[in-house]
C-alpha cells in the first residue's frame, strides 16, 4: 500500500513538472503583443460629458487639463484614479469656439479657438476661469475646414499657432486661403503682436517642439502625397501652395509667389463643359512632379523630415510629443511620439541631422485606442494622456471621443530602438541582443524604396517603387547593433525595410514591430564597409541545395479556379496593402465596410481597377476620398476583390 502511494506521488510530481514546463514553453513561444508592454486605461467621464479631446496638458499640481472640440475646458483631479478613488471633473471654462490645443504658462491656460488665441485665468483659486482674454485674433471665413491648432509654447515664451486651409466653391477639392494667414503658422507674443512664420500648411493638426525647434505634422490631401513630420524654421514653404496668396504681404518672411510657383508646377486646373474637373492620379504617369524637384527651383521649399507612409503609419497625423520622462515611459527616452486620428494609434519617430538637415526613421508603436488620437501629454509619473476625437469622419475604435492614458508595464519589448543613416545603408540598434545566426541571414530582411507625387490630386500612391538590394550585414559583438549594406540608396525616398527573420537572442521571438520607414533626405558621409566584413549568407540558397527536384507538372491540365480566401488568410493581404487603415469587414470607418462594398456588385476586375483608380463620386457620403493604390500587386488585389465579393 505504501509503495503504491509513493509511486502515485512520484507520478503527480512528474505531471506537475510536465505542466509547468509545457506552460513555460507556451509562454516563450506565444507572440508578444503591444499591450504586454504598454497598457491603455480609459478615464471614465461623468454622464453627459463628451470629452472630444482637442487639447491635453499636464499641470504642475498633478491634474490634467483637457479642452474639448465642443468648447469646454476641464480640469481633472486624480486622473489615474490612484488608490481606487475616482477622478473628479471640474469645468474650468466653456463657450469656446472649437479649441484645438492647450498650453500652460505662469498659472494660466492658453488655447487656440478658431479665430483667436485666448488666455484663461483663474484669479480666485476655485478652478474656474474668471478671465477670458484675447491675446491675438485672426480673420475667418465661414468655411468649416478653417480649424486653428495650438498653441505651442516657444522657448522665448511666445506661442505658435497653425491654421488650416479652406476649400473652394467651384473646386470643392482644392485647398485655398480665403482670408489672411490661412495655411500659415503664426508666432504670437503675449503683448498681442503677431509674426507670420511660415506657410505651406494644408491641415497642420499636429505640432510640437523638438530640441527647442518647431515641428508640425500635416495630413494627406491635395499637394500632400502622404502625411509626415516637417521641421519648421522661419521663412520656409512646406508643401501646400494656398498660403502663397499672402507672400507679398509686407510682413511675409517668404517671397515666393503663387505666379512663380505655378509657372514651374502644373496647377492641374482644367474646365470641361464649363465646369472644373477634379484632378486625379495619372496611372503610369511618364514624368510626375516630386517635391524635391520643386526645391531645386525654389530654395524656400522644406522637405518633410520624416514621411509617415499613408495608410501604414496613419491617415490623419496629429500631436507631436517628446518623451522627457527619463525612462518612466520605457526604453525610448528622448524619442518623438506622433498620434493619428484616423487609425487611432501612436507612432514612434527618431530624428537625426545629416548634412545640416533633419531626417529619420518611423516605426509603429501602439494601436487600439477607443477613438482618434488627437492630443497627448506626459504627466509627472510617465503616463501618456491621450485626448481623442474623430469629428464624425470615422476612426478605428469603438467611440467618437474619449480620454485614455498609456502606461509602460515595466517590460522591455524586443524592438528596433533606432535606425541611423550610413553611407552604404543603415545601422539598426535594438533594445535587446539579436540572435546572430538569424541577423546574419540576408533572407531575414526585405525592403523597398518609394516616393510620393507632388500634385494637386488628393494624395498619392507610392511611386517609383524599387526593391532594396542587400549586399550584406554586420552584427556587432554585443548583438545590439546590425549594420545593413545596400547598393541602391536613393535620396528623398522612403526606405522601408522589414525584418521578417531577425530574432531575439534569448527568447527566439521576432521584433514586436518588424518594419522601419527611413526618410533619406541626405546620404551620410563616412567609411563604407568592405565586402569582406559582411555576412552574405542566405538560408534560402542552402535549402535549395537540399530540396529534391519535383517532376514537372502540366499546369494547364490541372488549372482550377482559385478558392476564395478565408478571413484569416486574407488578413495579411489587407494589412500589408493598408486596406484596414480605412475599411472594416462589418462597420464603417473612414471608408465603407467591405460588406457594403460587396453589395455594389462590382466584378473582381472592376474592383481591382477601383483600387488602382478610386472614384470618390461613387461614395459621396464619405468625406475623405480614397487615394489611388496602384502599388497593390494585381494577384493580391484580385484575391482581396474575390474575398470581398464573397461577403455578399
Best CA proximity match to 378, nearest among 401, 340, 350, 407: 407
Question: How many helices, marked H, and strands, marked E, lie in the chain?
Answer: 10, 36
pLDDT for the residue 104: 98
DSSP helix/strand/coil, 208: strand
pTM of the model: 0.87
Which grid cell is 481?
A: 547593433
Gap between the Cα atoms of 180 and 493, Å rounded: 34
pLDDT for the residue 17: 43
Residue, of 470 and 17, whose pLDDT is higher: 470
Residue 113 has pLDDT above 80, yes or no: yes
pLDDT for the residue 633: 82
Q: What is the pLDDT of residues 551-583, one digit of tens each?
A: 555 444 443 456 899 888 888 788 767 787 778
- Please tell me the number of Cα atoms within 13 Å of 113 on its side-chain side: 25
DSSP secondary structure, 443-454, as one string:
GGEEEEEEEE--
Average pLDDT over residues 597-606: 90
Average pLDDT over residues 407-418: 98
Best CA proximity match to 247, nearest among 196, 291, 204: 196
Does residue 363 contact residue 516 with C-beta atoms inside 8 Å? yes
Average pLDDT over residues 182-204: 97
Does residue 220 contact residue 227 with C-beta atoms inside 8 Å? yes
Q: Which residues pair with 42 in a beta bridge?
A: 404
pLDDT for the residue 96: 97
| Percentage of the chain exceeding pLDDT 90 | 76
- Please tell me the number of Cα atoms within 13 Å of 468 on its side-chain side: 27
Q: What is the pLDDT of residues 337-378, one digit of tens each?
A: 999 999 999 999 999 999 999 999 999 999 999 999 999 999
Q: What is the pLDDT of residues 509-530, one digit of tens each?
A: 999 999 999 999 999 999 999 9
pLDDT for the residue 94: 97
Q: At 550, is the pLDDT very low, low, confident or very high (cuts 50, 70, 90)? A: low
DSSP secondary structure, 21-57, as one string:
HHHHHHHHHSPP-GGGTEEEEE----TT----EEEEE
| Percentage of the chain exceeding pLDDT 70 | 91
Residue 628 has pLDDT above 70, yes or no: yes
Best CA proximity match to 214, nearest among 254, 184, 182: 184
Q: What is the pLDDT of residues 135-176, one digit of tens each?
A: 999 999 989 999 999 999 999 999 999 999 999 989 999 999
Q: What is the pLDDT of residues 32-50, one digit of tens each?
A: 999 999 999 999 999 888 8
Average pLDDT over residues 216-232: 97
Going by DSSP bridges, is the β-strand pair 401-408/462-467 parallel, antiparallel, or unpaired? unpaired
**Which of 53-62, 401-410, 579-588 shows the lowest per-residue confidence on average (mean pLDDT)?**
579-588
DSSP helix/strand/coil, 209: strand
Residue 300 has pLDDT above 50, yes or no: yes
Gap between the Cα atoms of 213 and 185, Å rounded: 14
Backbone angles phi, psi at 450, to 5 degrees: -165, 170
Average pLDDT over residues 469-496: 97
Measure CA of the first residue to CA of the last residue in the chain; give whole Å: 68
Average pLDDT over residues 179-201: 98
Residues in contact with 634: Cβ distance below 8 Å, sequence separation at least 6, in sequence order: 608
Residue 196 has pLDDT above 90, yes or no: yes
pLDDT for the residue 543: 57
Q: At 585, is the pLDDT very low, low, confident or very high (cuts 50, 70, 90)? A: confident
Strands across the sheet containing 481-486: 416-422, 425-430, 481-486, 470-475
Cis peptide before 151 (omega within 30 of 0): yes
Does residue 135 contact residue 190 with C-beta atoms inside 8 Å? yes
Which grid cell is 148?
A: 486653428
- Counting beta carbons within 10 angstroms of the beta carbon of residue 232, is it exposed (0 to 12), middle (13 to 18) or buried (19 or more)? buried
Residue 22 has pLDDT above 90, yes or no: no
Residue 1 has pLDDT above 80, yes or no: no
pLDDT for the residue 23: 43
Residue, of 202 and 619, whose pLDDT is higher: 202
pLDDT for the residue 117: 98
pLDDT for the residue 164: 96
Gap between the Cα atoms of 437 and 444, Å rounded: 10
Residue 101 has pLDDT above 90, yes or no: yes
Q: At 547, is the pLDDT very low, low, confident or very high (cuts 50, 70, 90)? A: very low
CA 323 to chain centre: 17
pLDDT for the residue 551: 56
Residue 419 has pLDDT above 60, yes or no: yes
Residue 78 has pLDDT above 70, yes or no: yes
Average pLDDT over residues 463-481: 97
Amino acid at each position: 500500500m505504501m509503495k503504491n502511494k509513493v509511486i502515485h506521488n512520484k507520478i503527480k510530481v512528474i505531471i506537475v513538472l510536465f505542466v509547468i514546463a509545457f506552460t513555460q514553453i507556451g509562454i516563450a513561444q506565444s507572440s508578444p503583443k503591444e499591450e504586454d508592454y504598454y497598457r491603455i486605461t480609459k478615464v471614465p467621464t461623468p454622464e453627459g460629458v463628451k470629452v472630444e479631446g482637442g487639447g491635453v496638458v499636464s499641470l504642475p499640481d498633478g491634474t490634467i487639463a483637457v479642452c474639448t472640440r465642443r468648447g469646454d475646458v476641464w480640469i481633472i483631479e486624480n486622473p489615474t484614479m490612484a488608490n481606487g478613488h475616482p477622478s473628479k471633473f471640474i469645468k474650468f471654462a466653456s463657450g469656446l469656439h472649437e479649441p484645438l490645443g492647450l498650453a500652460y504658462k505662469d498659472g494660466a491656460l492658453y488655447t487656440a479657438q478658431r479665430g483667436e488665441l485666448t488666455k484663461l485665468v483663474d484669479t480666485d483659486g476655485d478652478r474656474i476661469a474668471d478671465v477670458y482674454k484675447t491675446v491675438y485674433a485672426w480673420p475667418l471665413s465661414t468655411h468649416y475646414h478653417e480649424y486653428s491648432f495650438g498653441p505651442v509654447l516657444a522657448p522665448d515664451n511666445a506661442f505658435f499657432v497653425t491654421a488650416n486651409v479652406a476649400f473652394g466653391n467651384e473646386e470643392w477639392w482644392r485647398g485655398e486661403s480665403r482670408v489672411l494667414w490661412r495655411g500659415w503658422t503664426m508666432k504670437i507674443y503675449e503683448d498681442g503682436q503677431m509674426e507670420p512664420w511660415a506657410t505651406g500648411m494644408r491641415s497642420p493638426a499636429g505640432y510640437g517642439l523638438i530640441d527647442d525647434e518647431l515641428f508640425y505634422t500635416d495630413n494627406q490631401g491635395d499637394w500632400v502625397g502622404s502625411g509626415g513630420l516637417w521641421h519648421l524654421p522661419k521663412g520656409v514653404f512646406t508643401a501646400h501652395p494656398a498660403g502663397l496668396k499672402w507672400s507679398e504681404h509686407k510682413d511675409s518672411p517668404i517671397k515666393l509667389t503663387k505666379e512663380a510657383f505655378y509657372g514651374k508646377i502644373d496647377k492641374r486646373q482644367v474646365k470641361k463643359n464649363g465646369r472644373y474637373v477634379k484632378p486625379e492620379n495619372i496611372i503610369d504617369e511618364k514624368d510626375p512632379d516630386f517635391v524635391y524637384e520643386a526645391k531645386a527651383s525654389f530654395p524656400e521649399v522644406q522637405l518633410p523630415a520624416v514621411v509617415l507612409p499613408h495608410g501604414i503609419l496613419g491617415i490623419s497625423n496629429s500631436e507631436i510629443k517628446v518623451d522627457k520622462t527619463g525612462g518612466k515611459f520605457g526604453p525610448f527616452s528622448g524619442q518623438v511620439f506622433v498620434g493619428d486620428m484616423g487609425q487611432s494609434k501612436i507612432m514612434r519617430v527618431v530624428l537625426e541631422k545629416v548634412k545640416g538637415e533633419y531626417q529619420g526613421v518611423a516605426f509603429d508603436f501602439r494601436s487600439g485606442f477607443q477613438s482618434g488620437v488627437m492630443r497627448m501629454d506626459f504627466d509627472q509619473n510617465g503616463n501618456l494622456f491621450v485626448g481623442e476625437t474623430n469629428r464624425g469622419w470615422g476612426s478605428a475604435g469603438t467611440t467618437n471621443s474619449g480620454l485614455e492614458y498609456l502606461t509602460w508595464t515595466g517590460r522591455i519589448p524586443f524592438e528596433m530602438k533606432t535606425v541611423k543613416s550610413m553611407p552604404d545603408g543603415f545601422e539598426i540598434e535594438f533594445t535587446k541582443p539579436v540572435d546572430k545566426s538569424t541577423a546574419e541571414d540576408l533572407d531575414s530582411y526585405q525592403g523597398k524604396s518609394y516616393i510620393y507625387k507632388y500634385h494637386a490630386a488628393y494624395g498619392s500612391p507610392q511611386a517609383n517603387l524599387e526593391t532594396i538590394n542587400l549586399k550584406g550585414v554586420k552584427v556587432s559583438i554585443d548583438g545590439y547593433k546590425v549594420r545593413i549594406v545596400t547598393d541602391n540608396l536613393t535620396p528623398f525616398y522612403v526606405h522601408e525595410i522589414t525584418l521578417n527573420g531577425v530574432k531575439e537572442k534569448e527568447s527566439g521571438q521576432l521584433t514586436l514591430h518588424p518594419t522601419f520607414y527611413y526618410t533619406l533626405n541626405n546620404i551620410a558621409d563616412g567609411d563604407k564597409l568592405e565586402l569582406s566584413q559582411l555576412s552574405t549568407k542566405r538560408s534560402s540558397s542552402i535549402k535549395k541545395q537540399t530540396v529534391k527536384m519535383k517532376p514537372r507538372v502540366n499546369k494547364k491540365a490541372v488549372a482550377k479556379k482559385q478558392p476564395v480566401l478565408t478571413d484569416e488568410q486574407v488578413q495579411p493581404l489587407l494589412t500589408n496593402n493598408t486596406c484596414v487603415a480605412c475599411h472594416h469587414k462589418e462597420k464603417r470607418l473612414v471608408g465603407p465596410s467591405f460588406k457594403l462594398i460587396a453589395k455594389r456588385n462590382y466584378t473582381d476586375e472592376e474592383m481591382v481597377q477601383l483600387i488602382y483608380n478610386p472614384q470618390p463620386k461613387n461614395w459621396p457620403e464619405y468625406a475623405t476620398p480614397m487615394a489611388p493604390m496602384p502599388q497593390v500587386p494585381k494577384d493580391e488585389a484580385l484575391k482581396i476583390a474575390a474575398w470581398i465579393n464573397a461577403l455578399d
